[in-house]
A = this chain, B = another copy of it.
C-alpha cells in the first residue's frame, strides 16, 4: 500500500509545493489512504478522485493555521486573536494541572466570559510549522559509507545535531530534523513556538467524553470533545495572520474534506519481521504493562474523592492507550492483513533483487539483517519494558535532571538527541512546570512500580538492584518520595543551573537514587543504539532506497508526529447488515442517555440536561470521514475545499485502529465534532455566545 509503479527520485531540495503538486497517483494506495507531508501532497489523486486541485496559497494557509500540541495532539487557529481550537482530551492534562479540589475544571468545565478570565496554562507549548527544508544530502554526506553501522549511526546523529543547532542559532525557531521513509529522507522543520497559552473554554468531562471508555474509539458518538485556548505574546492575545474561517453549515455528507495535523506514529513501512515482533512480543508486553498501570491507578483513585480527582487524566490516558494499542494488536493478529503485508514485502524484495539500480540491489539482505536485529532486541525487551518509572513524576524528574546535566557537558553533536540545543528550551519549559505534583500519588505508584519490576525481572536484575538497594518496595518508595525536595521548581532549577557538579553534590534521596540507576540505564541505551538502532537505521535506509528506486516517491512516509495532510470525504459505512449514519445529532445524545436509563457513563452532564429545551436538537454533534489519521491527530481541524473549518477530529473508529499498520479502506473512519455542534453547544448550553461570535467571525 505504500508503493507506486512510477519511479521518481526524491527531490533533494527545499520544499517547493509547485513541484510536489505534480506527483503521480499511487496505484497501491487503498481508498483515501495517506498521511501526506506538505512537500508531497497527492495532487494527482485529488484530481482523479475528487476533481480538486489545491493551490499553493491554500496549502500554505492550512499549514500555518495548524498547530501542534507538543504533549501529543493537534489544533488550529480559529480567530485572528490567537484562539486555538483543539480537543478536550488534548486539553485534559492542562485542565487537570490547573484544577484544585475547589475548582475542578475537569469535572465542571471552564468558561472565561471575557479576556480577563482566561488563565495561563502551567506548561503548555504549541508549535507552528513555518518552514521545511530537505536536508537528506547533507545528512547522508556526513556518513562514511565504509564505517561500521554503529559509527554511521553516531555520524548521522551528530550531523543532525549540527543542522538543528545551526538553524536555531540562525532563525531562532525551534528546529527539528525529521527522518522520513525509514531514513530515505531527512527534513529540517522549523517551528514558531508559543508557550504563553491561556485556557478559554472547556466543557465538563461528562459532556466532552460522553460514553466514557466504553464509547471511546466507537461510533456513533455524541462527544463535545472540544476546548479553546488562546495564544498570548507579550501578555496580549497574539495577532494571528493565518487562521481558519468558520463554515456556515459545517461538513455535508459526501463532501471532500482535509485533515491537517500531527499523526504520532505508524509502522506501515516496517518489515514483516518487525511486525511479527510487535505482534508476538512488543504489543502483548505493552498491553500487560498498561493493564497493570491501570490497575495501579484505579487502586490509588479508590483511596478517596481527591485521589480520584487527581488521577482522572492519567486514567483517561492509560485507558485511551490500552484501547488504541489493543486495536492495533487485534489488527495485527488478522491473518489476511498479515498475508497482504508479507506479499507486499515479497514483491519488493523480488523487485529489488532484480533491479538494474545498484542501490536497490544493495538491499538484498537488509530484510534478514533487520530480522536478526529485531530478534536480538527481543532478548532484552523485558528489561526495556520494566526498567522504567515514567508514571512516577518525581522519579521521572530526578532521572531527567541527572541525565540532562550529564549530557549538557558534552558537545552538542555528541548528546542524546533529546538534549540537543534546539530542544532545550522546550525541555526546560516542561521540567520547570509549576503544575502540581502529588507526592502521595508518586509514592503509591513507585511502590507498585518496584513491586512490578521485582516480580517481572527478579531481584538480581541490575536495575532492580540499583533501584531498591535491597529494601522493600514500600519502604524504599517512602524513603525516596518523603525525602525529596524536587516537588519544588526552584530546586529543579538550581540543580540544572548548577549542572553535573550540583547534581553530584546533591543529597536529595531521589537524585542519589537516580545517579545510581544511571550506569545501568546508559549501558542499556548504548547496547540498543549500537546493536539494534544502528542496524535498523542502516538497513532501513537501504530498503528505503530500494523502494524509491522501484516505486518512486508517490506515497507518504510513516507518521512521525509532524504535520501531515490527509484527504477524504464525509461518509457513513456498512456495519453488520446495516449502515452507520455519517452524522449524529443532539437527538441521538438524548436517545442514548435515556436508552441507558442515564446510567454512568451514559448520564448527561447537568448543564446539558438542563439545556435540552434551548437546544436545536437536529443540530449535528459528531460525524465521520474517510480521512487517514492516528493518535496525535486529536484536535486536528477538518476543512472543506474552501479551507473552511467544518469539524474537529477527536477519534478514529475501532476499525481504524489497525491503521498503525494498514488503512482499512472500507470502514476506517475519522470521528469528529461537527462545527455546528460546537457553536450550538457554546450558545445553547454554555452561554458562551460571545466566544461563538468570535469563532464564526462576527467579532
Which residues of the partner chain B approach A47 to less than 8 Å between Cβ atoms? none
From B216, B577, B591, B592, contact of A217 by CB (8 A): B577
How far does the alpha carbon of A311 sit from the alpha carbon of B572 in the complex, in Å? 30
From B579, B591, B597, contact of A214 by CB (8 A): B579
Kindly provide the distance from the CB of A664 to the nearest chain B CB, expressed in whole angstroms.
15
Which residues of the partner chain B approach A218 to less than 8 Å between Cβ atoms? 576-578
- Nearest opposing residue in chain B for A221, CB measure: B578
How far does the alpha carbon of A253 sit from the alpha carbon of B597 in the complex, in Å? 8
4 tightest CB-CB pairs across the interface, nearest first? Answer: A581-B595, A588-B591, A587-B591, A214-B578
A interface vs B, CB < 8 Å?
Answer: 211, 213-218, 220, 253, 323, 572, 576-579, 581-585, 587-588, 590-592, 594-597, 602, 617-618, 620, 654
How far does the alpha carbon of A253 sit from the alpha carbon of B594 in the complex, in Å? 11
Check A594 against B618 for contact (C-beta < 8 Å): yes
Kindly provide the distance from the CB of A123 to the nearest chain B CB, expressed in whole angstroms.
32
Which residues of the partner chain B approach A587 to less than 8 Å between Cβ atoms? 587-588, 590-591, 594, 617
From B213, B588, B595, contact of A582 by CB (8 A): B595
- Nearest opposing residue in chain B for A213, CB measure: B577
Check B588 against A581 for contact (C-beta < 8 Å): no
Knowing A214-B577, A578-B218, say if A594 contacts B590 (CB, 8 Å).
no
Check A215 against B597 for contact (C-beta < 8 Å): no
Check A654 against B588 for contact (C-beta < 8 Å): no
Check B576 against A595 for contact (C-beta < 8 Å): no
Check B597 against A592 for contact (C-beta < 8 Å): no
Check A654 against B595 for contact (C-beta < 8 Å): no
Kindly provide the distance from the CB of A656 to the nearest chain B CB, expressed in whole angstroms.
13
How far does the alpha carbon of A213 sit from the alpha carbon of B577 in the complex, in Å? 9
From B217, B578, B583, B592, contact of A215 by CB (8 A): B578
Check B617 against A590 for contact (C-beta < 8 Å): yes
How far does the alpha carbon of A213 sit from the alpha carbon of B576 in the complex, in Å? 12
- Nearest opposing residue in chain B for A211, CB measure: B578
Which residues of the partner chain B approach A579 to less than 8 Å between Cβ atoms? 214, 596, 602
From B253, B596, B617, contact of A581 by CB (8 A): B596
Kindly provide the distance from the CB of A588 to the nearest chain B CB, expressed in whole angstroms.
3
From B220, B323, B594, B654, contact of A585 by CB (8 A): B594
Which residues of the partner chain B approach A597 to less than 8 Å between Cβ atoms? 253, 582-583
How far does the alpha carbon of A594 sit from the alpha carbon of B213 in the complex, in Å? 26
How far does the alpha carbon of A596 sit from the alpha carbon of B581 in the complex, in Å? 5
Which residues of the partner chain B approach A594 to less than 8 Å between Cβ atoms? 583, 585, 587, 618, 620
Which residues of the partner chain B approach A323 to less than 8 Å between Cβ atoms? 577
- Nearest opposing residue in chain B for A582, CB measure: B595
Point out which of A211, A213, A581, A587 has the most chain B C-beta atoms below 10 A from its C-beta.
A587
Which residues of the partner chain B approach A581 to less than 8 Å between Cβ atoms? 591-592, 595-596, 602
